[in-house]
Structure 1
Amino acid sequence: MSGWRCTGLRWPHGEPVLGWARSDGSGRGRASVLAYGKEFGFRAEGVRTCLGARGNLCPVGAPVPARGTGARCAECARLDRAHSVAADTIADDPRTYRVYLAWFGPGMVKVGITGEAREAARLREQGAVVFSWLGRGPLMAARRTEELLRSALGVPDRIPYARKRAARDALPGPVERAAEIEGLYGRAAALEGAGWPEALERLPFEAVDHAGVFGLDGAGPAARVVTELVGGGVVAGRLVAAAGPDLHLETADDGIVVLDTRLVTGWDLVGADARAGMSVPVVAVGGGGVQDGLF
Structure 2
Amino acid sequence: MAQAWRCAGLSWTADGPVLIWDGGRRSALTWGKTVAFGVAEGEVRTCVGARGNACPLGAPVPARSTGARCEECARLDRAHSVAADTLADDPRPYRVYLAWFGPGMTKVGITAARRGPARLLEQGAVCFSWLGTGPLMAARRTEELLRAALRVPDRIPYAAKRAARAALPAIAEERAGELAALHARAVALSGWPESLDPAPFAPVDHVAAFALDRAPAPVGEVGELVAGGAVSGELVAAAGPDLHLATDRGVLVLDTRLLRGWELVPAAGQGVAVPVRALKERTGAQDGLF
Indicate yes or no: 2:30 matched with 1:30. Answer: no
* Residue-by-residue CA offset, 1:193-251 (whole Å, 9 max, x unaligned): x1100010001110000000001002121101111000111011000000000000001
CA distance in structure 2 between the partners assigned to 1:219 and 1:287 by the alignment: 19
Q: Does 1:240 align with 2:241?
A: no
> Could you tell me the TM-score, scaled by structure 2's length?
0.93
Report the counterpart of residue 24 of structure 1 in structure 2.
Answer: none
State the Cα RMSD in Å.
1.5
Query: Which amino acid is 2:117 matched to?
Result: A
Deviation at 1:179, TM superposition (A): 1.3
Counterpart-to-counterpart distance in 2, 1:98 and 1:80: 22
Moved more, 206-215 or 8-17: 8-17
Tell me the matched-pair count: 279
Q: How does 1:1-295 map to 2 (within 5 A)?
A: 2-21=3-22, 28-45=23-40, 46-172=43-169, 173-191=171-189, 194-252=190-248, 254-273=249-268, 276-286=270-280
**2: distance between equivalents of 1:185 and 1:206?**
10
Moved over 3 A (4+): none
For 1:169 and 1:77, locate their aligned partners in 2 and report how far apart those are by CA, in whole Å: 31
What secondary structure is seen at the aligned counterpart in 2 of 1:280?
coil
Unaligned runs of 5+ in 1: 22-27, 289-294
- Compare 10-19 and 259-268 and name the one that shifted more: 10-19
Q: Normalising by the residue count of structure 1, what TM-score does the alignment of the two structures yield? A: 0.92
Compute the displacement of 1:74 (Å): 1.0
Between the aligned partners of 1:205 and 1:235, the Cα distance in structure 2 is 41
Give how far 1:14 is off: 4.7
SS of equivalent residue, structure 1 residue 185? helix
Kindly tell me: are residues 285 and 42 of structure 1, through their superposed partners in 2, closer, same or farther at Cα, counting changes over 3 Å?
A: same
Matched residue of 2:147: which SS? helix
Give, in whole Å, the separation in 2 of the partners of 1:123 and 1:14. Answer: 15
CA distance in 2, matches of 1:81, 1:258: 27
**In 1, distance between residues paired with 2:3 and 2:142?**
46
Q: Aligned to 2:13, what secondary structure does the other structure show? A: coil
Q: State the alpha-carbon separation in 2 of the partners of residues 206 and 14 from structure 1.
A: 22
Query: Structure 2: which 5+ runs fail to align?
Result: 283-289
Q: Percent identity?
A: 66
Q: Deviations over 1:82-118 (max 9, x none)?
A: 1110111111111100000000000000000000000
Match of 1:25 in 2: none
| Offset, 1:287 | 7.2
